[in-house]
Protein backbone atom coordinates (compact mmCIF):
# COMPACT_ATOMS: atom_id res chain seq x y z
CA UNK A 1 0.00 0.00 0.00
CA UNK A 2 1.14 3.49 -0.84
CA UNK A 3 1.32 6.45 1.51
CA UNK A 4 0.74 9.90 0.03
CA UNK A 5 2.32 13.13 1.33
CA UNK A 6 0.78 16.35 -0.02
CA UNK A 7 2.79 19.56 0.13
CA UNK A 8 1.59 22.42 -2.04
CA UNK A 9 4.41 24.80 -1.15
CA UNK A 10 7.95 23.69 -0.47
CA UNK A 11 8.61 25.96 2.52
CA UNK A 12 8.11 22.93 4.80
CA UNK A 13 9.88 20.47 2.53
CA UNK A 14 12.58 19.68 5.11
CA UNK A 15 9.86 18.61 7.57
CA UNK A 16 8.24 16.48 4.90
CA UNK A 17 11.42 14.67 3.86
CA UNK A 18 12.42 14.08 7.50
CA UNK A 19 8.98 12.59 8.23
CA UNK A 20 9.06 10.36 5.14
CA UNK A 21 12.56 9.10 5.97
CA UNK A 22 11.47 8.14 9.52
CA UNK A 23 8.19 6.48 8.56
CA UNK A 24 8.42 3.09 6.86
CA UNK A 25 6.49 2.36 3.71
CA UNK A 26 6.26 3.32 0.08
CA UNK A 27 5.84 7.11 -0.14
CA UNK A 28 4.65 9.31 -2.96
CA UNK A 29 5.31 13.01 -2.38
CA UNK A 30 2.93 15.25 -4.33
CA UNK A 31 4.12 18.85 -4.71
CA UNK A 32 2.48 21.84 -6.33
CA UNK A 33 5.46 24.18 -6.07
CA UNK A 34 8.25 23.15 -8.42
CA UNK A 35 11.04 24.71 -6.36
CA UNK A 36 13.12 23.30 -3.56
CA UNK A 37 12.90 19.52 -4.00
CA UNK A 38 14.34 16.87 -6.26
CA UNK A 39 14.06 13.09 -6.40
CA UNK A 40 17.44 12.92 -4.61
CA UNK A 41 15.88 14.48 -1.48
CA UNK A 42 13.59 11.48 -1.02
CA UNK A 43 14.40 8.16 0.63
CA UNK A 44 15.00 5.11 -1.58
CA UNK A 45 11.76 3.95 -3.12
CA UNK A 46 10.11 7.36 -2.72
CA UNK A 47 8.39 8.92 -5.70
CA UNK A 48 8.09 12.63 -6.48
CA UNK A 49 5.04 13.86 -8.41
CA UNK A 50 4.74 17.48 -9.49
CA UNK A 51 1.32 18.86 -10.29
CA UNK A 52 0.79 21.42 -13.04
CA UNK A 53 -1.28 23.74 -10.85
CA UNK A 54 -0.04 25.27 -7.64
CA UNK A 55 -1.93 26.91 -4.78
CA UNK A 56 0.24 30.04 -5.09
CA UNK A 57 -0.37 32.42 -8.03
CA UNK A 58 2.44 32.61 -10.57
CA UNK A 59 2.98 36.32 -9.92
CA UNK A 60 3.67 35.62 -6.25
CA UNK A 61 6.35 33.01 -6.91
CA UNK A 62 9.29 35.42 -7.07
CA UNK A 63 8.19 37.05 -3.84
CA UNK A 64 7.69 33.63 -2.20
CA UNK A 65 11.12 32.41 -3.38
CA UNK A 66 12.82 35.53 -2.05
CA UNK A 67 10.97 35.27 1.27
CA UNK A 68 11.85 31.57 1.56
CA UNK A 69 15.55 32.32 0.94
CA UNK A 70 15.62 35.12 3.50
CA UNK A 71 13.86 32.98 6.11
CA UNK A 72 16.31 30.12 5.62
CA UNK A 73 19.22 32.52 5.94
CA UNK A 74 17.80 34.12 9.09
CA UNK A 75 16.91 30.84 10.78
CA UNK A 76 20.24 29.20 10.05
CA UNK A 77 21.79 28.34 13.40
CA UNK A 78 21.41 31.39 15.61
CA UNK A 79 18.77 32.92 17.81
CA UNK A 80 19.70 36.33 16.44
CA UNK A 81 18.02 35.44 13.14
CA UNK A 82 14.79 34.47 14.90
CA UNK A 83 14.80 37.73 16.88
CA UNK A 84 15.39 39.70 13.66
CA UNK A 85 12.50 37.88 11.98
CA UNK A 86 10.15 38.72 14.87
CA UNK A 87 11.31 42.34 14.85
CA UNK A 88 10.70 42.67 11.12
CA UNK A 89 7.24 41.18 11.55
CA UNK A 90 6.40 43.80 14.20
CA UNK A 91 7.69 46.63 12.04
CA UNK A 92 5.65 45.34 9.12
CA UNK A 93 2.49 45.41 11.25
CA UNK A 94 3.19 48.99 12.31
CA UNK A 95 3.74 50.35 8.81
CA UNK A 96 1.06 48.24 7.12
CA UNK A 97 -1.74 50.20 5.44
CA UNK A 98 -5.02 50.45 7.34
CA UNK A 99 -6.85 48.61 4.58
CA UNK A 100 -9.65 46.36 5.92
CA UNK A 101 -8.83 43.78 3.24
CA UNK A 102 -5.12 43.79 4.10
CA UNK A 103 -3.84 40.53 5.51
CA UNK A 104 -0.42 40.84 7.20
CA UNK A 105 0.14 37.08 7.00
CA UNK A 106 -0.28 37.10 3.22
CA UNK A 107 -3.02 34.48 3.15
CA UNK A 108 -4.93 33.98 -0.06
CA UNK A 109 -8.07 36.04 -0.50
CA UNK A 110 -10.13 37.12 -3.47
CA UNK A 111 -11.94 35.44 -6.31
CA UNK A 112 -8.91 34.91 -8.58
CA UNK A 113 -7.04 33.10 -5.83
CA UNK A 114 -10.12 31.07 -4.91
CA UNK A 115 -10.42 29.89 -8.52
CA UNK A 116 -6.74 28.93 -8.51
CA UNK A 117 -7.20 27.01 -5.25
CA UNK A 118 -10.26 25.23 -6.69
CA UNK A 119 -8.24 24.17 -9.75
CA UNK A 120 -5.44 22.92 -7.51
CA UNK A 121 -7.90 20.97 -5.34
CA UNK A 122 -9.53 19.37 -8.38
CA UNK A 123 -6.15 18.33 -9.77
CA UNK A 124 -5.16 16.73 -6.45
CA UNK A 125 -8.49 14.88 -6.27
CA UNK A 126 -8.15 13.50 -9.78
CA UNK A 127 -4.54 12.45 -9.10
CA UNK A 128 -5.50 10.68 -5.85
CA UNK A 129 -8.42 8.86 -7.51
CA UNK A 130 -6.22 7.71 -10.39
CA UNK A 131 -3.42 6.60 -8.06
CA UNK A 132 -5.88 4.77 -5.78
CA UNK A 133 -7.13 2.76 -8.76
CA UNK A 134 -3.55 1.76 -9.67
CA UNK A 135 -2.45 0.86 -6.12
CA UNK A 136 -4.45 1.22 -2.89
CA UNK A 137 -3.58 4.24 -0.77
CA UNK A 138 -3.05 3.53 2.94
CA UNK A 139 -3.03 7.10 4.26
CA UNK A 140 -2.74 10.74 3.23
CA UNK A 141 -0.44 13.10 5.12
CA UNK A 142 -0.86 16.85 4.53
CA UNK A 143 2.01 19.30 5.12
CA UNK A 144 0.25 22.33 3.65
CA UNK A 145 -3.30 23.31 4.63
CA UNK A 146 -4.04 24.34 1.02
CA UNK A 147 -4.16 20.61 0.29
CA UNK A 148 -6.38 19.62 3.23
CA UNK A 149 -9.78 20.09 1.49
CA UNK A 150 -8.73 17.77 -1.34
CA UNK A 151 -7.29 15.19 1.06
CA UNK A 152 -10.46 15.13 3.14
CA UNK A 153 -12.73 14.98 0.09
CA UNK A 154 -10.78 11.98 -1.17
CA UNK A 155 -10.19 10.09 2.08
CA UNK A 156 -13.43 10.45 4.03
CA UNK A 157 -15.67 8.45 1.66
CA UNK A 158 -13.05 5.68 1.58
CA UNK A 159 -12.41 5.68 5.33
CA UNK A 160 -8.70 6.45 4.90
CA UNK A 161 -6.77 8.28 7.62
CA UNK A 162 -5.67 11.87 6.98
CA UNK A 163 -3.12 13.58 9.19
CA UNK A 164 -1.73 17.12 9.21
CA UNK A 165 1.96 17.53 10.03
Q: Report pLDDT digits (tens) over 18-62.
A: 888 888 878 888 887 666 677 777 777 788 888 775 554 555 556
What is the reported pLDDT for 23? 82
Tell me, rounded to whole angstroms, the distance of Cα 51 from its chain centroid.
Answer: 12
Which of 70-74, 112-116, 118-122, 138-142 bottoms out in mean pLDDT, i.e. has the lowest? 112-116
pLDDT at 123 over 80: yes
Q: Measured between alpha carbons, how far is 158 from 142 in angstroms, rounded to an integer? A: 17
To the nearest whole number, what is the mean pLDDT of the chain?
Answer: 75
pLDDT at 112 over 50: no
Give the side-chain half-sphere CA count within 13 A for 84.
11
Amino acid sequence: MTHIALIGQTLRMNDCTAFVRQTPGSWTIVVGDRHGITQDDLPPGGELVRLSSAPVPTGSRLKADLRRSVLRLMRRGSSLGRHAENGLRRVKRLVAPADPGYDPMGRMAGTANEALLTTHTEEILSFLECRHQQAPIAEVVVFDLFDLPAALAFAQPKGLPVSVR
